[in-house]
Amino acid sequence: MDNPNHATEAKIKFNHDFQRLFDVYHLRYEPTTVRPFSQSEASSSKPMKDPKKNFLNVVRLSVAKKQKGASPSSELGRYSGTDYTSTMSADDIDSFDILDWWKGREAEFPVLSAMSRDLLSSQAYTVASESAFSTCGRVISLRRTRLSPEAVETCICLKDHLDAIDRINT
């Protein structure tokens, strides 16, 4: 890499992409304080007969959209402007669990908490050696998404060894 500005460009690209991802999560998870029109009003595809109600609903929707998009990065700014590590001891750092930390700050940072839950947790997946571990279902289920790759490998090997012992004994 002959580009001396590569790190700066990569940081700018990361910040831009992260902001875009944050904006997507913000639209999905940020609570709104203005009540949009009701489900019955929303499900009706015909214009309302009462122009005052129709106008009121249009205004409510407009205000809700503005509030949702008003300052999505204020949460991001609050988080990035705070130093959380300066108050941590060495023991705190050794026993630190990032997912528990974000779960504890869900009320303060609802959007970033949702992002961390989705991006930092191990996703459920299946492996080619599934038959060695289980005859039905997946090796990693939705309730076991925190298994590390080493733990999955250990479980698969243990199950395979137990099956081999059963085959030898029968």
pLDDT tens sequence across 113-143:
999 998 888 766 655 555 555 544 555 565 5
Say whether pLDDT at 112 is over 90.
yes
| Among 61, 91, 121, residue at a domain's last position | 91
Q: 98 in a domain, yes or no?
A: no
Indicate whether 143 and 66 sit together in one domain.
no
13 and 86 inside one domain = yes
Residues 39 and 87 in one domain: yes
Same domain for 86 and 13, yes or no, is yes
Q: Note whether residue 46 is domain-resident.
A: yes
Comparing 55 with 76, which gets the higher pLDDT? 76
Q: Is the pLDDT of residue 103 over 90?
A: yes
Residue 3, pLDDT score: 82
pTM for the model stands at: 0.49
Mark which of 75, 91, 107 sits at the end of a domain: 91
Counted domains in the chain: 2
- State the pLDDT at residue 45: 42
Q: Is 112 a member of any domain?
A: no
pLDDT over 60 (residue 110) = yes
Show Cβ contacts of residue 28 under 8 Å, excluding neighbours closer than 6 positions.
Answer: 114
Q: Decide if 110 is inside a domain.
A: no
Arithmetic mean of pLDDT, 159-163: 83
Question: Domain end: 36, 70, 91, which one?
Answer: 91
pLDDT at 72: 52
Indicate whether 86 and 136 sit together in one domain: no
25 and 85 in one domain? yes
Same structural domain, 22 and 84: yes
Long-range CB pairs of 107-112, under 8 A, 24+ apart, other chains included: 108/78, 109/75, 109/78, 109/79, 110/29, 110/30, 110/31, 110/75, 111/22, 111/25, 111/26, 111/29, 111/30, 111/72, 111/75, 111/76, 112/22, 112/75, 112/76, 112/79
Q: Which domain holds residue 28?
A: 6-91
